[in-house]
Amino acid sequence: MTESTYDPKVLQKNLDELETLTVRMVKAISNKRESDPSLSGPSNELYAKAAAAYYAEMMAKPEKMIEQQVQFWRKSLENFSSAQGKIAPSEDAEAPKARSADRRFKNPLWDSNPYFSFVRDQYLLTSEVINSTVDGLHELEGHDKQRAQFFARQVVDMFSPSNFFGTNPDALEKAMETNGQSLVDGLSNFVRDLEANDGELAVTLADPTAFEVGKNIATSDGAVVFRNRMFELIQYTPTTKQVHKVPLVIFPPWINKFYILDLKEQNSFIRFAVSQGFTVFVVSWVNPDETYKDVGIEDYVKEGVYAAVDAALEITGNKRVNAIGYCIGGTLLTIALADMAQKGDDRIKSATYFTALTDFEEAGELGVFIDEDFLAAIEKEVDGRGYLDSLFMSRTFSFLRANDLVYGPAVRSYMMGEAPPAFDLLFWNGDSTNLPAKMAKEYLRKLYSANDLIHDRFMVDGTVVKMSDIETPFYAVASEADHIAPWKSSFKGLSKTSGDKNFVLAESGHIAGVVNPPSSGKYGYWLNDEPLDDPDDWQASGTHHKGSWWENWAKWLANHSGKQVEARQPGSDKHPILSKAPGTYVVAARKK
C-alpha cells in the first residue's frame, strides 16, 4: 500500500463494518437446519478401507513407501533451499521462472516472492504425493478406488494456498490497495450467499441481476399452449413460410431449466431449429415442492412424455412427432419409447439424444456419490422434506469441477470482494430445480445403482420395458469431455436399441458440446457409420469435422420430418394460448 492509498480512517471504518457483517454471518449460520453429514461427504467406511489398503501396501512393500517418503523429503529440502536462495540470491543467480501453468497461481509473486513460491511448490509437491499414493493402493479396487481418488482430489483442491487469505497474494494486495474494502465486500458477498440459502453455503456464480428470463434470456417468440401439473408446453412461432409436416418435441432435463437451449439469440438451439423449418415444441418442467412427494419416473412418462406428444399432435393435426431428449430427458425418452414399443405405439417417428445415459455401469465421476452412505442420507432427506432440494444437486455437480465452480468463484467473491460475472451459462447453472422424493430415489436406486434399464428390469405400469424393443431411428450426440454422462457409456447404452443408429461425438463437455452454434466456430465432432463395437476404435476410424454438428443434425432430421406444409402458428381451438413464452413454470421458483 502506498502513502497515497493508505487512509487509517477508511481502514478503521471497514474494520468496524466487518464486525457488523460477522454478526449477520453468525446469525445466518445459526439458522441452518440440521442435515445428515453423509450428504456432504463419504462415510467413515471409505476412509477405513483406504487406511487398511495403505497399511497393507506398507506391510507388503515397505521399500516402496520408504522410497516415496525419502523422495518427498528430498524434494521438500530442495524447495526450501530454493526459497532460501531467493531470500539471499547470489550475484549469478538466475531470475525466477514460472513453475506452474495452474490458473490458481498466475500472480507473479508466486514466482518472485520466496514465501509464496515456497508455499505453492510445497503444496504442489504434497498434492502429487497424496494423489500418487492413493493411485498406488492396489488393495483398493473398482468403485472404492474411484471414490478414494475423487475425494482425495477434493481434499487436495480444498487446501490449495490460493484458497486462504494469508497465502493468496492477489487477496492480500487488493486488501491493502482498498484499505480493507475488498474484505468488507467479500464478507458481504459471503453473508448474502448464506442468507439466500438458509445457512447453507452456495457460491453465486453469475450476477443475478444481469439476466431476466423472458427479457434478455429465453426470448424466442412463442406461447404456452398446454399445461398440466408436470409441465408447460411451449410452441414457438415459425420464422419460415413453410415447415416440415412432422413436428419436433424437446424434453429437457428437469434438474435444470429448459432454457439451456434458448440462452441468447446467437447460441439458442431453439431458434436454430425453428429457422430450419421445424415446428418446435419444448417441455418446461415444473419445479416440484413437497406436494410432488409421490411423483415417480412413471409419472414423468405418462404425464410428461405422453401428454406432450398428445398435445403436439392435436395442435398440428399430424399423426407422428420427432423427439429430442437431453440428459435425464433422454433417459426418460428411452423409457417411454421402450414402453411405447411394447404397446405398438409408433407416434414418435425419430429420437435425438443429447448427452443421455441409459447404461449407468460406468457413470463417470457422479458415480462416486452413488453408494450406500450417500443414498441412505438422500433417502432420509427426501422422505422428511418431500423433495430433494436443488441445492444438493447443484452443489454435487459443482464439486465435479471444484476449482472452476467452487473454489475459484469463492476466492474471487469472498476474498477479493468481486461481483460475479454477467455470464448466461452460469446464470442458468444457478437456476436449478428440486426433484420429487419418489423420483429421486428411483433415479438413484433403480437407474444409477441397480442399472435396471439396461438389464431389462425397469418397469412401467407393472411391466418390464426393454430397450431392445425400440426400433425408432435415432441421432445421438455425446461429448468427449463430458464428466456427467461419459460418452462411451452413452453410446454403449443406446447401442442396445434395434433401430437405425447415428452417433456423433462432439468435442468439449456436457453443455458446451451441445450448445455449440455454427456461428461460434468452436469445437468439432466425429462421425462414423460403423457400429459402435469399441468406442475407441469408432473414434479413431471416424471422420473429424470442424465446427458445429447442428447443421448435420438438421439435414438428418429433415429426412425424418416429411414434406413441407404451411407454417403453423402457436395453439389451436382445442389448445388456445395460455401465456407468452417462456411461460410461468420457468420463473415461478426462481431463487432471488
Catalytic residues, by residue number, are: 327
C-alpha 22/C-alpha 524 separation (Å) is: 49
CB 436 within 8 A of CB 311: no
CA atoms within 13 A on the CB side of 118: 15
**Element (H or E) spanning 370, and its range?**
none
Q: What is the 3-state secondary structure (H, E, C) of 197-244?
A: CCCCCCCCCCCCCCCCECCCECCCCEEEEEECCCEEEEEECCCCCEEE
CA 380 → CA 135, 232, 375, 441, 536, distances in Å?
33, 30, 9, 10, 41
DSSP type of residue 432: B
Give the dihedral of Cα atoms 489, 491, 496, 502; nearest 10 deg: 170
Grid cell listed for 369: 456419490
Helix (H, G, I), strand (E, B) or coil at 223: strand
CB atoms under 10 Å from CB of 479, counted, come to 27
- The gap from C-alpha 371 to its chain's centroid, in whole angstroms, comes to 20
Grid cell listed for 171: 487477496
Return the closest-CA partner of residue 511 out of 427, 413, 419, 389: 427
Q: Where are the beta strands (DSSP E) in 407-460?
A: 435-436, 459-460
C-alpha 357/C-alpha 349 separation (Å) is: 21
Grid cell listed for 504: 456423433
CB 171 within 8 A of CB 415: yes
The residues, ordered by sequence, that sit 6+ positions from 83 with a Cβ below 8 Å of its Cβ are 114, 115, 117, 118
Residue with cell 431428449: 325
Q: What residues does 234 pair with on adjacent strands?
A: 224, 282
Tell me, what amino acid is at 198? D
CB 518 within 8 A of CB 395: no
Residue with cell 428437469: 254
CB 570 within 8 A of CB 222: yes
CB 483 within 8 A of CB 146: no
**Element (H or E) spanning 43, and its range?**
none
The residues, ordered by sequence, that sit 6+ positions from 151 with a Cβ below 8 Å of its Cβ are 41, 42, 46, 368
CB 422 within 8 A of CB 386: no
Return the closest-CA partner of residue 333 out of 319, 344, 321: 321
Residue with cell 509437491: 125
C-alpha 37/C-alpha 473 separation (Å) is: 45
CB 400 within 8 A of CB 408: no
The residues, ordered by sequence, that sit 6+ positions from 361 with a Cβ below 8 Å of its Cβ are 451, 454, 489
Rg, Å, the chain Cα set:
27
Residue with cell 508455499: 119
